[in-house]
Structures are given as C-alpha cells and as structure tokens.
Amino acid sequence: MKLEQRHWVFLGLFILITLVMLIKVRPDISVSNQTRKMYAYIDSLPSGSILLISFDHEASSLPEIRPLAQAVLSHAFEKGHRLIGMALFAEGTAIGYRMMQDVAAQYGRNPGTDFVYLGFKPQFIAAILAMGESFEQTFPEDYLGNPYRSHELLTTVSNYDDIAAMISIADGSLTTHWIEYAGSRYNLTVLGAVTAAMVTTYDPYLASGQMTCMVGGLRGAAEYESLLGIEGGGSRGMLAQTASHLYIILLVVIGNVIYFRSRRGSK
C-alpha cells in the first residue's frame, strides 16, 4: 500500500474532521443579513398562511439540504403556517415527504389540515405554469393517492393567488424556473433554501428583487438554527466546516510557498 501526496492531504482532512466532530464544542455563529431577512419574512406572515414548499433536489445533496430544510420547516410549523409540499425532482419526492412528516410530527401538526404533500410532477416548466392556473388539475391526487378535495387545507387553494409565498429547497437551477415562471408571470413571492454552490447563481435575482430572500448552505442552516434557538445538523457541522476551511487555506499557503521557493531556486 503506497501512499502518495494527495493521500496524505485526504488523510489529514479525515483525521481533522473526525477529531473536531468528537469534540462537542459549538462555535458562536454570527447571523448574516440574508438569513435574518428570510427568518423575518416567514416570521412576519400571519399565522395560518399557506406556504408552498418545493423539494427541488437530488439525494446526493441531502447532507447539506436536510439541515436547511429542517430549519425552514421547523420555523414555518412553529409559526402555525400551513404547508403544501411537492417535488420537481423525482429523487426529492420521498425525501421531501419524509422530512415534512418528521418535522410536522415534532410540532404536533396534522396531515390534511396543517400540511399536505402533493408529490412529484414531471416537466418542471409545464408543472409550474399549470399550477398557476389550477393546483387541482395539476395534482388531482396527493402523494398517497387521496383526491385533492379530500384535504381541508386544499379546499381553499385554487392557484398561486391563495399562496403567501413559495420556498424552493434546491441543489440546482430549478429555483430559477420558480423565479422566472411563477414569480414573473404570476407574481408569486419566491424564497430559496439552496446549497452553497448555488448561492452565486441566485445573487443577481436577490439584487434585482425577483427573489425575496435566500438562505444558503450548511452555514445558512446553522444561522437559521441559531435564530430559532435549536441545535440541528447546521450548528453541529459548523466547527468541522471552519476547521476544514482553515486546513484548505493552510494547504493553499504551503503550496504557494513551495511553488515560489522552487521557482526562485530554478532561477
């Protein structure tokens, strides 16, 4: 078993994260303006407002998406909002259903009256546009096959006019379609809970006001948890996140020092 240079780098990171996770220290988290804005927006809605939650992600991003989604769902249920769940990615369907059930159970919310999960709809653009006309025609049945009208919550929901805002929980560019089709065409307020890799994609939409607010990455989840006063996956992972970033910065510095030294040596 021959170890090369990159193996030592991986091994170093593995040992560092293991050690940091074994230490149960929670760093102080300063909350960014964006997270505050998102929290304040959901908080400012009157209790009982109807929010549409779309699970637009794949299973591979679950470690980052789960803390984000749980924080946002916890806040919404805690405030007494009523939630309609759905998915535009097939892989996110069962994950979204399970997450919604779990968080709703923690807050004692009942299916049918406090939340409904509609399930997956293919062809995202067609689905978003169709929901602008009629939720019932787009989803004649919920995820479990119950008729749309059998849920008390859905009897008052025809289209986006009856929704206070939608939250896209995404690891890709699907939130863009919510902004462009539901936001621009039907004036639906779009909020985002996205992976860190997608934050720069959505910044221009925040700046232009097409997206109302956004919370991003594990850091965003940790910030949201600190506002809620709960400990979740976000805050648990923050020390490891900080340590891993310092480790990468250290490696970059060492790499540059070695590079410039070798260049000076060759001259």
Partner 1 sequence: MDWSTLIAGLLTLAILTFLYRDNPLYKIAESLLIGVSIGYTLVIVWSSTLVDLLFDPLFSQGKMALLIPFILGLLMFSRFHRRTASLSRIPIAVMIGSGAGISIPVMVEARILKQMSATVAPLFNSSGIPDISSLVIITGVICTLGYFYFSREQRGLLGGISRIGTYFLMIFFGTTFGYTVMSRMSTFIGRMEFLLTDFLGLTR
3-state SS string for the chain: CCCCHHHHHHHHHHHHHHHHHHCCCCCCCCCCHHHHHHHHHHHHCCCCCEEEEEEECCHHHHHHHHHHHHHHHHHHHHCCCEEEEEECCHHHHHHHHHHHHHHHHHCCCCECCCEEEEEECCCHHHHHHHHHHCHHHHCCECCCCCEHHHCCHHHHCCCHHHCCEEEEEECCCHHHHHHHHHHHHHCCCEEEEECHHHHHHHHHHHHHCCCCEEEEHHHHHHHHHHHHCCCCHHHHHHHHHHHHHHHHHHHHHHHHHHHHHHHHHHC
Of 44, 108, 156, 207, the one binding partner 1 (CB under 8 A) is 207
Does position 31 interact with partner 1 (CB under 8 A)? The reply is: no
Q: Is residue 195 close enough to count as binding partner 1 by CB under 8 A?
A: yes
Residue 33 binds partner 1, judged by CB under 8 A: no
Asked if 7 touches partner 1 (CB under 8 A), the answer is yes
Give CA torsion, residues 93, 91, 36, 131, to 10 deg: -50
Site for partner 1 contains 200 (CB under 8 A): yes
Residue 258 beta carbon to partner 1: minimum distance, rounded to whole angstroms: 20
CB-wise, 109 or 121, nearer to partner 1?
121
Footprint on residues 50-109 left by partner 1 (CB under 8 A): 58-64, 66, 90-91, 93
Distance, CA of 266 to chain centre: 50
Nearer to partner 1, 183 or 192 (CB): 183
Q: Which of 8, 18, 149, 257 binds partner 1 (CB under 8 A)?
A: 18
* Piece of 17-25, 37-45, 96-104, 153-161 that binds partner 1 (CB under 8 A): 17-25
**Which C-beta is closer to partner 1: that of 134 or that of 210?**
210
Query: Which member of 52, 199, 214, 227 binds partner 1 (CB under 8 A)?
Result: 199
Establish if 17 lies at the interface with partner 1 (CB under 8 A): yes
* Residues numbered 121-160 forming contacts with partner 1, rule: CB under 8 A: 121-123, 125, 129, 140-141
74: Cβ contacts below 8 Å, ≥ 6 apart: 103, 106, 107, 228, 230, 232
- Give me the least distance between CB of 114 and partner 1, in Å please: 24
Residue 192 binds to partner 1 (criterion: CB under 8 A): no
- Enumerate binding residues for partner 1 (CB under 8 A): 1, 7, 10, 13, 17-18, 21-22, 24, 58-64, 66, 90-91, 93, 119-123, 125, 129, 140-141, 179-181, 183-185, 195-200, 204, 207-210, 216-219, 233, 236-237, 240-241, 244-245, 248
